[in-house]
Amino acid sequence: MADLLEESVWRRLARPAKYDVKTTLRVKRDRVKEEMLVAREYLNIVLKNEDVAEFDYKPTACKQSYGFGRMVTEGMERAVAS
């Protein structure tokens, strides 16, 4: 279903920050995932962006569309980090 939607229906999903830091920032831990992937020669797949679309949906067994028949779908674009 999502593959049949027009390009104009999709919009970029902007994720807000989870929370605002009200105190001083803490020291972050070292990120070891990428080092492990490189050492084991795996591909590092990262999320580039997310798109969302909303459209009317009627289940095939229903004869009419009801108010709760809206569906939100999400498309993700991933890339291999080098």
Give tens-digit pLDDT for 34-60.
Answer: 889 889 999 888 888 888 887 777 777
Q: Containing H/E element for 51?
A: strand 44-56
pTM over 0.75: no
Rounded to whole angstroms, how far apart are CA atoms 9 and 33?
36
Higher pLDDT: 72 or 39? It is 39
Question: Could you give the C-alpha distances from 5 to 21, 24, 25, 56, in angstroms and in order?
Answer: 39, 45, 43, 11
CB under 8 Å, gap of 24 or more: what pairs does 63-71 form?
A: 71/1
